[in-house]
Structure 1
Amino acid sequence: MKNEICKKGFTDFQLKWIALVLMVMDHIHYFFEFTGKIPEWFSMLGRLSAPLFLFCLLEGFQHTRNRKKYFLRIYVIAVGMGLLQYIFICFVRRPDGFVPQNQMLATFSILLVILQGIDWCKQKKWGRGLSAIVLPLIWPFVGMGLIQAVPSAANAVLLLHYTLLPMHSAIIDGGTYFILEGILLYLFRKRRALQAAVFFVLALILEGVFPFLLTPGATAEMLITTMYGWMSGFAAIPMYLYNGQRGKGNKKLFYWFYPAHVYILYGISWVMQLL
């Protein structure tokens, strides 16, 4: 009976499709907010997208037969998108100056390295494990220290950040809080109810309570109108309803759809501003 109930939940591919639809809604608001015609609730619902992709990422990392290949597939796309972002920032911008800050795959890349480090530590491979955990976490401090010591190195550090060595603290789309959420999701992966509860509480704290307390003049109304990142916590519901099944679908679609739709939407928004 328990197995039958479990199978009635969402498969991995179904969760990804839910996340994909919500992501597109979020990005439609993100790229076309300047029109004043896209409702804010597109982005409110979109807050659930990244956590669901994160959840599926962790399931993939746990079950893949080749973690190196799994990481490289995400990392290569992240580097390519980062390079385009660097070009947009430094050389080519939309007429209103807007530049997309879509570095979620860079966040995923950092997280996967840390998770592999955690697993190496569990296997008592302390040197490799601690290096994989510590180095990605301290790189932002090293990079910023280098810029302060040698100001002329700023462009080189910026290029590294957007390509080969992203700094978690400088990523807007994901970043430090998201990596922390990913680590805890992974550590509690064998206890689904607790995993979902931990994510819900952590999202409320990191993306609701902290921003509210750290924003001068913040009001309770702003938690609904502008500071609604905490709504990502509701992704805990479909996470809990995951049935442990992969489901049927083309896994490559989700890797390439992300960069493709970002640049298509950005291009359309660019043209609209020129007309």
Structure 2
Amino acid sequence: MSTFSLKIVALIFMVIDHIGQFIPDTPIWFRYIGRLSAPLFMFTMVFGFSYTRNRKIYIIRMYLFSVGMAIMDYILNCFNNVGDEVTNNIFATLFSIVVIIRLIEFKRENNRKWKFYLSCFCIWQMISLIICYNIGVHFDNLGLVFVAFMGNVFYDEGGFIFVVLGILLYYVKDNKKNTATFYSLFCLIYAFIINTNLVPRIMTRLDYYGYDLLYNIFNFVFSILGFDVLGFRQNTFQWMMIGALPFMLLYNGNKGKSMKYFFYIFYPLHIFILFILSNMVL
């Protein structure tokens, strides 16, 4: 399968997933199928970024679409009287991934400024984390815009754990055996954390015995990683992203047809349409 073919497959899975998200009384298996989408988009992106001629333009484009999507989410939520808050913004996650990949490339290229760039990135992430947290506490919905604007890796869709997944796919992309091994291992660890309910159990014990500091540390760490510590039981199907592996292994290294901006435009467009439909149905 070419890059284009994988993107089409990921797009189909994404639409099915979001139908399940926005349209009430949709079978739960719509969300199961949707778990395959994000890993496939990450997989195709790491190849696309590696082969692009102008990495700076690629990063800027991803950032602008991330901010634009956050603004659209904010506007939709202003008119959202039913359903959950709209927080869909895969562009923000992909932006964080390509920025970190670029830092890795600077290191591999022995760029003399790579340590400076890395230091600036880490400092900015800490500063923006504090700012985004306080804005989210006081302004709620508006926090989505600030998160995208500041490019904080801990508030991306899927959480920091999905940024880690993107970096992992970058490291193993040229070796199918490594892709199969490490992607499976990632999914296994993710499934173990979620389905064993281990973190809530530990936190319950800490709360019971009055270890407030450790309780808050667990809550903070797993929250910024992207785990909903209060809703573990409701998110036990994320491990089904393992189903994306066969499609990754079918990748033949070819680009295929070029419809670059189609995918950038389709994402916000289909979210907008499904949002309107969901508000019409309810």
TM-score higher than 0.5 here? Answer: yes
CA shift at 1:133, angstroms? 4.3
Matched, 1:238 2:247: yes
With over 3 angstroms needed to count, the CA separation of the structure-2 counterparts of 1:56 and 1:159, relative to structure 1, is closer
Aligned partner (choices 41, 52, 56) of residue 64 of structure 1: 52
**Structure 2 SS opposite 1:22:** helix
Aligned partner (choices 94, 100, 107) of residue 80 of structure 2: 94
Matched, 1:31 2:22: yes
CA shift at 1:85, angstroms? 2.3
CA shift at 1:185, angstroms? 1.2
Alpha-carbon separation, structure 1, partners of 2:232 and 2:83:
27
CA shift at 1:72, angstroms? 2.0
Alpha-carbon separation, structure 2, partners of 1:244 and 1:190:
9
Alpha-carbon separation, structure 2, partners of 1:58 and 1:119:
12
Matched, 1:166 2:157: no
Alpha-carbon separation, structure 2, partners of 1:152 and 1:61:
31
**Structure 2 SS opposite 1:164:** helix
Alpha-carbon separation, structure 1, partners of 2:130 and 2:267:
33
After TM superposition, list the pairs within 5 Å mapping 1:25-174 onto structure 2. Answer: 25-32=16-23, 35-36=24-25, 38-89=26-77, 92-96=78-82, 98-127=84-113, 129-133=114-118, 135-136=120-121, 139-146=124-131, 155=139, 158=143, 161-171=146-156, 173-174=157-158
Aligned partner (choices 210, 215, 228) of residue 237 of structure 2: 228
Bigger mean CA offset, 248-257 vs 161-170:
161-170
With over 3 angstroms needed to count, the CA separation of the structure-2 counterparts of 1:56 and 1:134, relative to structure 1, is farther
For structure 1, the 5+ residue unaligned runs are 1-9
With over 3 angstroms needed to count, the CA separation of the structure-2 counterparts of 1:131 and 1:24, relative to structure 1, is farther
With over 3 angstroms needed to count, the CA separation of the structure-2 counterparts of 1:73 and 1:49, relative to structure 1, is same
With over 3 angstroms needed to count, the CA separation of the structure-2 counterparts of 1:147 and 1:168, relative to structure 1, is closer
For structure 2, the 5+ residue unaligned runs are 205-230
Determine what percentage of the aligned residue pairs are the same residue: 32
TM score, norm. by length of structure 2: 0.79
Aligned residues: 251
The alignment yields a C-alpha RMSD, in angstroms, of: 2.9
CA shift at 1:196, angstroms? 2.7
**Structure 1 SS opposite 2:187:** helix
TM score, norm. by length of structure 1: 0.81
Judge conservation of contact 1:118–1:133 (CA < 8 Å) in 2: no
CA shift at 1:186, angstroms? 0.9
